[in-house]
Amino acid sequence: METVEFKAILEEMDLAVRESTKGFLITEDESCCDVATVSNRCENVMCIVDDAHVALGRSAVTELFELLTAYASTPLDKCEPERKWYLRDPVKSCKGDNYLNIMFEGGYRIWSNERENSIYQTQFTRAEIEAFTFPTEHLIEDEVKPDGR
The model carries a pTM of 0.58
Q: Are residues 39 and 92 in the same domain?
A: no
Last residue of one domain, picked from the residues 34, 49, 79 = 79
Residue 94 domain-assigned (yes or no) = yes
Residue 148 included in any domain? no
Give CA separation, 109 vs 35, 86, 143, in Å: 26, 14, 20
Say whether both 96 and 136 belong to one domain. Answer: yes
Any idea of the CA torsion for 49, 51, 16, 45, to the nearest 10 degrees? 20
Domain with 61, as residue range(s), is 3-79
Instruction: Give the CA distances from residue 92 to residues 85, 111, 144, 147, in Å, rounded to whole numbers and listed in that order.
Output: 18, 9, 20, 26
For residue 3, is pLDDT > 90?
Answer: no
Q: How many domains does the structure of the chain reveal?
A: 2
Domain co-membership, 7 together with 50: yes
Is there a domain that residue 119 lies in?
A: yes
Confirm whether 149 is domain-assigned: no
Measure Cα distances from 116 to 18, 55, 100, 147 in Å. 12, 27, 10, 13
Span 51-104, pLDDT tens digits: 898 889 999 999 999 999 999 999 887 777 678 999 999 887 667 789 999 998
> What is the tens place of the pLDDT at every residue in 93-135?
667 789 999 998 889 999 999 988 889 999 999 889 999 999 9
Residues 91 and 75 in one domain: no
